[in-house]
Structure 1
Amino acid sequence: MNAFRGIGPFEVPAVGLGCMNLSHAYGTPPAPEDAAKLLLAALDAGVTLFDTAALYGFGANEELVGRVLGPYREQIVLASKCGMTGVDGRRVIDGRPETIRRTADEALARLGTDVIDLYYLHRLDGSVPVEESVGALAGLVAAGKVRAIGLSEVSAATLRRAHAVHPVAALQNEYSLWTRNPERGTLAATRELGTALVAFSPVGRGFLTGAPPALADLPPGDIRHAMPRFTDAHYPANLALRAELADLAAGAGLTVAQLALAWVLSRGEHVIAIPGTRSVDHLREDVAVLGLDVPADLLAAAGRILSDETVHGSRYAEATLPEIDTERCGAAG
């Protein structure tokens, strides 16, 4: 496995850090000092790609990342996102050029930097042509406020339209053993265009870890409550599949998370994974996959156990799916 991979003008370890759950989406965030400890542990473990967004904690995550990693700014590749923010306590998708420009200036202030290395359009705004949103991002590059641009949760067709306006350095889509949507178009399109495919939730929102969450233990406000895969109707069947995967991993001396990450990274030399965690031990476990040589037949077996054909339940609720531009695949939504 190539431990370093390109993303726009940068070269980064193939495992970065998704920072969302330090401020957002999974119940009560950790204490600021614990979140800071996790970020610094990632830096110490060799992580250089740190991924945040204006949405996460409605700005709190950008402030956290900027405050903690500011002294190490030249050592990291700093990624953030616009186009989906918190407005009056609600999540709002807004890809208008004027909103993108304003959000970028707010992000620069929160991050305590004069340039963002990689700036994504977090979601496609169905009321705004992607060419207009990407044109605003291109303007930020021309102004020296952004070094490279990306898109998140879009299809291969949308990626191509955007790339015709300005080179897209990275496409961030959910990709894991149980979420295969990129295989319906964007995995090949990113390879063809020289765009990095950045896989978020590569360990299945905690499902593909050493201790998958018990539904009864999910805290109030945890986004998994609204995801069909994490409901009584589907979760037991998915846990049975995970038990098979765990046996496969244990037989090879791997953790489930390591097998899951190795599988994602095996999908192409242009694929980068950004797992998120609040545990320093889990962080080190994730990064350790870069030093492992996992046989191809083991990866293939893992891909047969969990796939879009075997997983139970869609990844998002029906009400959310219209916001997502990615290709759909069976139960994976």
Structure 2
Amino acid sequence: MKTRRIGPFEVSAVGLGCMNLSHAYGVPPSRQTAAAVLLGALDQGITLFDTAALYGFGSNEELVGDVLAVHRERIVLTSKCGMQGVNGQRVIDGRPETLRASVEASLKRLKTDVIDLLYLHRLDPAVPIEDSVGAMAGLVQAGKLRALGLSEVSAATLRRAHAVHPIAALQSEYSLWTRNPEIAVLQACRELGTAFVAFSPLGRGFLGGKLRSVHTLEPKDIRRAMPRFSPELFAANLGLLDVFCQEALTLGCAPATLALAWLLHQGDDIVPIPGTSRPEHVRDLALAPLLALNATTLQRLDALINQRTVRGARYSSATQAEIDTEEF
């Protein structure tokens, strides 16, 4: 496994997003299957594991802690605060006292004394970013965190936060079919020395090539509320997928491997964190750093799937109102 840098850490070039092992995409896999995914990723050389207090309202952190605590010295452990479950509801709360309490709870669930990298999961519009990051910086000084990150924020917010404490990583959605970071955030990260961690690098499963009908999505799958996954727009986007899968076939790799390889070619400071609930798919993710793409292939992919060719917004208007990212 090739490696990349996030702040003080050397991490696998591809990490593992753990959310879908407990959260968001319908009924999660069994505990046994989820553990097989985590341990399979470790066996493939993946060392970066990403969870959050929100995922499964704490259960994802408990899963990661239960399975990986014995391997703690081999991994870079990341989590998020500032958005969590309260009385069964998702709540954004960036107040310093809330963040401090959230971290204490996360440490217990993760079975560790320190979290390597903690992100502010969402910007709380009621709390200045300086206050939230200031509280997190205090936890670094207290030895409970090693580095700080932000999730789904704009270039302007990143700069304000970085003025309070160095921001080791900014996490946002980035893939062939979600290009928003190219507007401003990627450039800001490079100016500040902040790594970019790409979540949903497989387009929430679309670029994996297996999902061919949204009617198969489970009732509580969050994709049902995303415009791109509405039946009409999804059907329109399937034409792009057919050509993309043919590109992967020509190269002799899985579509997921190709999607991740494209992302890795966008810069050495980019670390994708795909997720999967199937142990047999982990190897496709781990192979991406080994797939070299020439300029002609990269140009074809860029022209095929981009913000002009994909139909539909990535979020509903209500969800978009909760985040701080630049939008086309």
Same fold (TM over 0.5): yes
Task: Give 1:150-299 correspondences, 5 Å limit.
Answer: 150-299=149-298
Kept in 2: contact 1:54–1:80 (CA 8 A): yes
Does residue 133 (structure 1) correspond to residue 95 (structure 2)? The answer is: no
Aligned residues of 1:55 and 1:86 also touching (Cα < 8 A): yes
CA drift of 1:303 comes to 1.2
The equivalent residue for 1:47 is 46
AA aligned opposite 1:163:
H
CA-CA distance at 1:210 after TM superposition: 3.2
CA contact (8 A) 2:212 2:238 kept: no
Long gaps (5+) in structure 2: none
Confirm or deny: 8 A CA contact 1:259 1:299 kept in the other structure: no
Deviation sequence 1:220-254 (CA, Å, 0-9, x none): 11000000000112001111111111122222222
Native 8 Å contact 1:156 1:186 kept in 2: yes
Deviation at 1:255, TM superposition (A): 2.0
> Deviations along 1:270-308, whole A, 9 cap, x unmatched?
000000001122111111111221212212211110000
1:118 maps to which residue?
117
**Conservation of the 8 A alpha-carbon contact between 2:33 and 2:279:** no
* Partner Cα distance (1:296, 1:130) in 2: 40
Which residue of 1 is the match for residue 25 of structure 2? 26
Question: Equivalents in 2 of 1:186, 1:144: separation in Å?
Answer: 29
Q: Distance in 2 between matches of 1:252 and 1:89?
A: 46
Assess if the C-alpha contact under 8 Å between 1:81 and 1:119 holds in 2: yes
Q: Secondary structure at the match of 1:118?
A: strand
CA contact (8 A) 1:21 1:276 kept: yes
- Secondary structure of 2:326's counterpart equals coil
Which amino acid in the other structure matches residue 64 of structure 2? V
Mapped to 2, the partners of 1:213 and 1:145 lie a distance apart of 44
TM-score, L = length of structure 2: 0.98
Identity of aligned residues (%): 61
- Give distance in 2, aligned partners of 1:295 and 1:278: 31
* 2:14 partner letter: V
- What is the root-mean-square deviation in Å for CA atoms of aligned residues? 1.0
Question: 1:10 is matched with which residue?
Answer: 9
Q: Is the 8 A contact 2:174 2:201 kept in 1?
A: yes
The total of aligned residue pairs comes to: 328
CA drift of 1:213 comes to 4.7
Could you say which residue in structure 2 is the equivalent of 1:81? 80
- Which ranges of 4 or more aligned residues in structure 1 deviate by more than 2 Å? none
Mapped to 1, the partners of 2:314 and 2:141 lie a distance apart of 37
TM-aligned CA distance change 1:130 to 1:273, over 3 Å: same
- TM-score with structure 1 setting the length: 0.97
Q: Which runs of 5+ in 1 are unaligned?
A: none
